[in-house]
Amino acid sequence: MRLLRTFLPLAAAALLLVTLPEAEAEAVATLKIATVAPEGTPWADGLNQLKAQVEKDSGGRVAVRTFLGGVLGDENETVQSVQRGQYQGVGASTGALASIVPELSVLELPYLFRSAEEADYVLDKVILTAVEKAFKDHGLILAFWSENGYRTFGSNWGPVKSPADLKGRKMRSQESEVHLQMYRSFGASPVPIPVTEVLTSMQTGVIDGWDNTPLFAFAAQWTSATKFVSLTNHIYQPAAIAYNKAWFESQPADLQAILLKARTGLAPQMRKEIRALNPILIQNLSEMKVTVYKPTATELAAFEAPAKVARDTYMAKATAGEKALLAQIVKGIDAYRAGAR
């Protein structure tokens, strides 16, 4: 009996050692999340905060691994990899997400939004439900909105004061039809290449310029090969964190809620940090001997007619889903300008 009393606790302890790791392994989910944003950016900080929040709130049941700087591929590649389930999450611009969720393309029509606050109202209060459905229809889950911001032109030949300054210029374009159409309407020759190839292409003369936000251009070091940045603010570009739908829906309901929790805290904070950095970055560009040009209201007005051509040309071939989403966006813009908040 003494031997039995000794053996039973030891056997129970051994059984516990065998079964606990297996149970823990089954309970832990891995969230690999990729972005082309490099270290030292609000995007990197935001994803690290997401990692800390999710791991803390889940009690370690979700392990988050972040992959920055495009190490898992360019934006389009990572978005497609997440849809296929190779990774569980991605942080990307709507231009890249539109390669999977085409309805998002209409968000990037040139000169659609007058201000970031106007865009916030439309994204958060007008089209969220429709966009969530579009993501799900294409195998993704919209976790929360962030932003890339207002896109500007970088060039080597001089400031971009009007569409005439872009005529015939080889401009790097995001790999998105709405961006390509904008450049064609402005008279430029768009060259669709991934973000990871832009710096080399500027240095070797493959392209004459690019368009992106000061934040991204600075972080990706494009500005080191650029002489002029023109603050045309021609496209407001949202961005988003998205999850693979099958992976997300395989998680327990409480973990799903934790994965979406960032909408109410982290998402507004990321927007705020990105916007606060913009004037600082513009000042830094001047200190780097990059000429920063701010077009006048009259000069910006010259972009309106070709921008409308770009919008109309794109929408003539748009899907029913894109047309429906644009109608909601326009309705929301009208409401905001009438005083809705």
Q: Note the pLDDT tens digit of each residue in 277-300.
A: 999 999 999 889 999 999 999 999
- Tell me if 6 is assigned to some domain: no
- How far apart are the C-alpha atoms of 251 and 37, rounded to whole Å? 27
- Tell me if 20 is assigned to some domain: no
Which has the minimum average pLDDT: 16-25, 155-164, 328-337? 16-25
Q: Side chain identity at 43, as an amino acid letter?
A: W
Percent of the chain with pLDDT over 90: 82
- How far apart are the C-alpha atoms of 212 and 214, rounded to whole Å? 7
Cβ burial of 3 (10 Å; 0-12, 13-18, 19+) is: exposed
- Tell me if 98 is assigned to some domain: yes
pLDDT surpasses 70 at 53? yes
- Tell me if 23 is assigned to some domain: no
Higher pLDDT, 314 or 15: 314
Contact 151, 233 (CB under 8 A): yes
Return mean pLDDT, the chain: 91
Cβ atoms < 10 Å from Cβ of 274: 22
pLDDT surpasses 70 at 78? yes
Q: What is the pLDDT of residue 211?
A: 98
* Residue 108 pLDDT class (50, 70, 90 cuts): very high
Q: Which two tokens stand for residue 230?
A: 């023109």
We report the CATH number of the domain holding residue 295 as 3.40.190.170
pLDDT surpasses 80 at 162? yes
Higher pLDDT, 66 or 27: 66
Cβ partners under 8 Å of residue 21, min gap 6 = none
* Residue 40 pLDDT class (50, 70, 90 cuts): confident
Q: How many domains are there within the chain?
A: 1
- Tell me if 275 is assigned to some domain: yes
Q: What is the pLDDT of residue 79?
A: 95
Which has the minimum average pLDDT: 12-26, 136-150, 278-292? 12-26
Range of the domain at 65: 28-337
Average pLDDT over residues 248-269: 94
- Tell me if 271 is assigned to some domain: yes
Cβ partners under 8 Å of residue 227, min gap 6 = 155, 156, 157, 290, 291
- Tell me if 286 is assigned to some domain: yes
- Strand (E) positions, the chain? 29-35, 62-67, 89-93, 140-155, 170-173, 189-192, 209-212, 228-244, 291-293
Q: What is the pLDDT of residue 11?
A: 40
- Tell me if 301 is assigned to some domain: yes
